[in-house]
Amino acid sequence: MAYKREDIFDDEITSRIAEHVEAVLELLGEDPHREGLTKTPERVARSLQYLTKGYAQDGSSVLKEALFEEHYSEMVLVRDIDIFSLCEHHLLPFIGKCHIAYIPDGKIVGLSKIARLVEVYARRLQVQERLSVEIASCLQEALGAKGVAVSLEAMHCCMVMRGVEKPGTMTSTFAYTGVFESSAELRREFLQAMQR
């Protein structure tokens, strides 16, 4: 489902956020009225609304738009889904890849909806651990799959740009449901398939 501009941006919210951004710029010692910054508060306000648009979306609804009866019982793997999210601790981005596998139990889902599901939860203030679990839980619940496996690999700007300042550091998280949770062999198969 494509979202129109008016679905994401609320003029009153934009104005209120922009006022706060202007105050932050002043507190940092900047002049928010100088040429390069005159429109920055509004740009930041719209950017934040876009980057958190997932709050207005429902993952289950996205998946239910494309559920199909199908008697396929092997692993379905969608790899290398780009993720862009904001760390809830510093409001700095974390960027990476998401890999999702599921074993159907009579239902499959349109593949693009899996990527849309990732987007719904990534476009919220997040921690990577919770993001992994939310994606797995939603897919499990909507599909009634035999099991779901999710792996996220991301670079966190809060570790790279500030704090310990360690460029190149990657964080991996995993979430498993159903047969992936109970079978070490299936988890190994999932991890090996991700590497191909």
Q: Which residues are catalytic?
A: 87-90, 128, 156, 158
Please determine, for residue 93, whether its predicted confidence score (pLDDT) is greater than 70: yes
Task: Look at strands 171-177 and 107-109 and give their pairing.
Answer: unpaired
Phi, psi angles (nearest 5°) of residue 99 = -125, 130
Q: Of 5 and 125, which is predicted with more confidence?
A: 125
Residue 7 has a pLDDT of: 65
As a dihedral over the C-alpha atoms of residue 66, residue 9, residue 23, residue 157, rounded to 10 degrees, the angle is: 30
Share of the chain above pLDDT 70, in %: 96
Q: 114 and 80 in contact (C-beta within 8 Å)? A: no
Q: Alpha-carbon Rg of the chain, whole angstroms?
A: 20
pLDDT at 140: 98
The predicted model gives 133-145 an average pLDDT of: 97
Rounded to two decimals, the pTM is 0.92
Tell me, what DSSP letter sits at residue 115? H
Q: What is the pLDDT of residue 54?
A: 96
pLDDT at 2: 45
Nearest to 160 by CA among 108, 96, 82: 96
**What number is the average pLDDT over the span 16-38?**
97
Measured between alpha carbons, how far apart are the two ends of the chain, in Å? Answer: 30
Single out the residue of 149, 146, 136, 138 nearest to residue 71, CA to CA: 146
Strands (E), the chain: 67-69, 76-87, 93-103, 107-109, 125-126, 147-156, 171-177
How far apart CA 152 and CA 80 sit, in angstroms, is 9
